[in-house]
Structure 1
Amino acid sequence: MRKYRKTIIGSSLLLLLLVMSILYPYYGPKDFNHQVLVKDDQGTVIGRAPFPPSENHLLGTNRNGEDIHWLLLYGAQFTLITAFGVAVLRVLLGGIFGIILSLWAPFLKSYFKDFFLTFRYIPSILLGIILMLPIVGNFSDAPVSMIVTYQIMILVFIGFPSVTLFASDVTDELIKTSFVQSSFLMGAGRLHIVRKHLRPYIGSYGILFTVQQIISTLHITMQLGLFGMFLGGRNRAGVFGYDSPEKPASLSNEWAGLIGQNFSEIIRAPWAILSPVIGYFVVIVIINFIKKELEENLDGFQVVKKKQKQKKGARAEARSTARRGLFEFVQKL
């Protein structure tokens, strides 16, 4: 268990945050400690949201007078569940398709690569904006469940090609191992190879891929949030204080949406943007620690390390051969 100390601690912290967020309706204020105006004893307005951090508002408030730390706690569930769900779907669908591509349809791999080659030259954020614009570009009347389902499908699609190709490459590398080749020579079928020989490696790689894709999903959702593409859609009430044009607000209060809707407050109320950014940063750091520890300890990752070492060795040998080729040794008479 000591080998996975960071993984256990990090997973426990994220799970604690998720549980606290899910249970928020049972202990947190429904209006997020809402306070727009502050008046003196005579009823004169002496203050207006956003308010800086204080005893009453630990992380300050936004323009709508909502307490930032309550918003972060409530929206954490949507951020974490979406990132984890999208990552699992990417790895599950991409992994299965990658294995099928290598074992049952290797002749289609080159066509698959050529088809998705263009996606390497199109930024993921641009692709996400284009695909999500029809449903979250404006205040849509579509049900929230439909919006969320569509957004998850788009996020899965964005990462599907890279996961599929990586899973296919790993499968190709595992197929070249001696024990798999021996099974093929003895008449083993492809399903037998997958169940008996590849499954241990698939489990290890699946965990590692999932953690990597969680980080990737968090990155893309934060970028989408900066462009107003909020998970769950937009709140019709918007952000208070913007008459024209109306500034959208996140309906679910997930962290990427809080960053996007408060981005313009960096000068007037920096706490409104820095708080969710720091929260995002802490979560990504925790997940990155987990990823690095898994890379160091998972057995499946040794195949990748071995492959990388072989490539480095081949390059070093090629350079050495090239150097030797610069001189021609002759026998002295």
Structure 2
Amino acid sequence: MKLVKLAAFYLLGVFGIICISVFPEFMIGAGLSNPTAYFTNLGEFLITFIQPESWVYDVPMSSGEYSLIDTLWDPFIYSLQILLGALLLGFSLAFLFAFAANFLPQKFLQLIKRCLDFLESIPDIVVAALVQTLMIYLFKTYDIELFRVASYMEDKAYALPTITLAILPMISLFKILLLMIEEEFAKDYVIFLKSKGIRKTAILVMHILRNIIPTTFHHTKVFIWAALSSQFIIERIFNVHGISFFILESFSPMTIAASLILIFTPFFLIFQLADLWLHRAEEYNAETILKAQRIYTPKTFFRNLHNSFIHFDWKKLRPWKYAANILRTLYAYIKNWKITVGSLFFIVLICASMIYSVTTNDHIDQASIVYEKDGATIKSTPPHSPPEPFLLGSDGQGFSMLDMLIIGAKYTLFFGLLIALLRVFIGLLGGVMFAFVFGSKRQKWIEKTVDSIHFLPLSLVAYILLRPILTELQSGFAYSLTERIVLEIIILTILVVPLTSVLLGNEIKRVLNYEFIKSAQVLGGGRWHIFRRHVFPHISARMTVLFGQQFIQVLIIFMHLGIFNLFFGGTNISFGLVQDPPRSISYEWSGLLGSTTNALSSGNYWLIGWVLLGFMLSIFAMQFIIYGVKEVQQTKEGIVYHFRKQKKNRLSHKASSKYEADRNSFQWVYKSGAN
């Protein structure tokens, strides 16, 4: 029976991949003018897909047809070797470092955690650019070639892409292992083992590592999901002709479907079979949840919601009270300096960008040729290096990098925040339905189905869906600017909504498991009252953290799409004899990343250095907000984050421990009944 369910989930995943594969052809053809044509294209492709003789790899403007599996198999193995090698290297180093770090003093361990927080925020593009730049510098300066910088013809690059891809998973797993090991050391069984005289090394190897391996295994889904998207970019930067290269070259529904299925299948089978072997226990088994699931069906849920809205006593509504509560809550968070600094970064940058656009009408300075003071000697030609003629230099056409960064800030940051907000808000609605409407069996099916998203590269899927929308053809764009922006927002939101819905749904179920929820129900509290007064306040901090994480993920997708010349709002392409580089319609920041490879190889690092710095500062600012929210929330729960006060208290405790008692140190205490 379990194998039958496994096959059903796999077929659902394959069907989802087929739906993704048909979408680009539909948008190029009928598009929004005839939405029902999508189902026609889907049906026709399903009929074609089940016929093995139709599995053909074809390339536009080429008359040749080749076997699809034979063409994709070797590139797939090449990509899989790099990915598995990177995961094996990263995970092995993470376990080794986590084991060794626990023998360091607590002061150094805290410093390592802070460094890991910083390193985890660095985007994969920055890591790849720094590694490749270092290799080029060593070769040009010292004639040392440690690793092959890029693949060329039959000379394939293995080591450097593998090492680069392994860095971020290693950092993330290292951080999580430290936290889990620290949590295990605080448990009673470890204290008991220490009391028996067992050494720390034996406790780590024989008990703690064995206990955290199942949890670590399930955490690896997120790391693999991020690594799949990172590989899509690293293959481009290191000129690796892996599976993604052949997807972009053909870009037909059959090639897309076959490639995504090849990527999806091995990881799906590994994790699903491992779940069957581990027999993971249920996380939530609350009587309150089961009772809610027996009583409420989707029909009754929406009927009760409609009745509650109609019969609500609007006269009792006091909007100023809610506003006062919101302001009171915001003040509690704004007092945290990290939240204030992070928020001011976005407010100041977006406002400055809007003011600049209004006052200058999006003017960008341009300098074709810069002459010396004599007016005859050429000083520089585009791209101009900083600080002359522009503070941050110019691009290949002589446009000021500073002006483009200022103009594009409002589009990059505002729409990134908007997409993250939509993901969390729609995910909250889905989470409420997941927790209150669906029964336990349906919840299991939804979790298993949504879990399959972790085995597809998110950036590659976003590229597949957005390429027919954002790319300009010789006849112009297929959709208007407003349509392109709205469609991109919708697609980037929907891709992650299932995951955020399940995540927030599980958070709601966790809160419903608390004892005070039962007390509120006994006292007559309704569902809306319980959600508004009890559930939502408990998950609000988690939603804020999730919002920050989604914003960072959106920025990373923007960067990935920018490497492949898919810019927010559309990519302007010239089709003349002398073609200019692709340009962004809105000058948003990902539009400045299209020339990454050329910038690194030519030494014009400012072409991407400033825009990468802008992305990194935005990520760091959001990380400040996330850390600040965690500090405020955990301070409410009794965890103190004021290290200076802790240090002061420790010093005062040491001073008091040296105190010697004398006869004046004691005083008589009146005791009732004493003579």
Partner of 1:274: 609
8 A Cα contact 1:95 1:163, kept in partner? yes
Is 2:525 aligned against 1:188?
Answer: yes
User: Which aligned pairs between 1:160-175 and structure 2 lie closer than 5 A?
Assistant: 160-175=497-512
Residues 29 and 188 of structure 1: CA distance in aligned 2, closer, same or farther (over 3 Å):
closer
Aligned to 2:632: 297
1:80-139: per-residue Cα shift (whole Å, max 9, x none)? 111100011001000111022101223432222232232110011111011112212444
Other-structure match for 1:76:
409
Partner of 1:131: 465
TM-score, structure 1 as length reference: 0.82
Please tell me the residue identity of whatever aligns with 1:272.
L
Q: Which residue of 2 aligns with 1:218?
A: 555
Q: 1:22 to 1:262 in 2, by over 3 A?
A: farther
| Contact 1:225–1:260 under 8 Å retained in 2 | yes
Kept after mapping to 2: 8 A contact 1:28/1:70: no
8 Å contact from structure 2 (residues 472, 478) kept in 1: no
- 1:22 paired with 2:354, answer yes
User: 1:30 offset after TM fit, Å?
Assistant: 4.3
Distance 1:53 1:92 in 2: 43
Alignment partner of 1:93 is 2:426: yes
CA distance in 1, matches of 2:379, 2:624: 46
Partner residue in 1 for 2:367 = 35
Return the alpha-carbon distance in structure 2 between the equivalents of residues 288 and 37 of structure 1: 41
Which is higher, the Rg of structure 1 or of structure 2? 2
Q: Where does structure 2 lack aligned partners over 5 or more consecutive residues?
A: 1-331, 638-675
Structure 2 CA distance for partners of 1:156 and 1:79, relative to 1, 3 Å: same
CA contact (8 A) 1:33 1:67 kept: yes
How far residue 10 of structure 1 moved from its aligned partner, in angstroms, is: 1.7
Percent identity between the two aligned chains? 26
User: Which stretch has the larger CA shift, 134-143 or 270-279?
Assistant: 134-143
Secondary structure at 1:266's aligned position in 2? helix
1:191-241 per-position Cα deviation (integer Å, ceiling 9, x unaligned): 221122112124323322212211111111111111112101012449x9x
Q: 1:267 deviation in Å?
A: 3.2
Task: Say whether the 8 Å CA contact 1:204–1:299 is kept in structure 2.
Answer: no
Secondary structure at 1:179 match in 2: helix
One-letter code aligned to 2:437: W
Q: Which amino acid aligns with 1:248?
A: P
Say what the alpha-carbon RMSD is for the aligned residues. Answer: 2.6
Helix, strand or coil for the counterpart of 2:370? strand
Which segment drifts farther, 254-263 or 87-96? 254-263
2:382 to 49, 65, 68: 49
Q: Which residue in the other structure is 2:450 paired with?
A: 116
Partner amino acid for 2:614?
A: G
Within 5 Å, which residues of 2 pair with 1:231-250? Answer: 231-237=568-574, 243=578, 247-250=581-584
Query: 2: CA distance between counterparts of 1:261 and 1:86?
Result: 26
In structure 1, how many angstroms separate the alpha carbons of the residues matched to 2:635 and 2:598?
45
- Closer, same or farther in 2 for the Cα pair 1:249/1:183, shift >3 Å? same
The answer to whether the 8 A contact 2:357-2:363 is kept is no
Shift of 1:47: 3.7
Contact 1:205 1:301 in 2 (8 A): no
Q: Secondary structure at the match of 1:133?
A: helix
CA-CA distance at 1:293 after TM superposition: 1.6
Measured after TM superposition, the shift of residue 280 of structure 1 is 0.8
Residue number in structure 2 paired with 1:5: 337
| Aligned positions, number | 299
1:250-269 paired onto structure 2 within 5 Å: 250-268=584-602, 269=604
Deviation of residue 183 (structure 1)?
2.3
The residue identity in structure 1 corresponding to 2:419 is V
Gaps of at least 5 residues in structure 1 are: 303-333
Q: Distance in 2 between matches of 1:56 and 1:42?
A: 14
Residue matched to 1:327: none
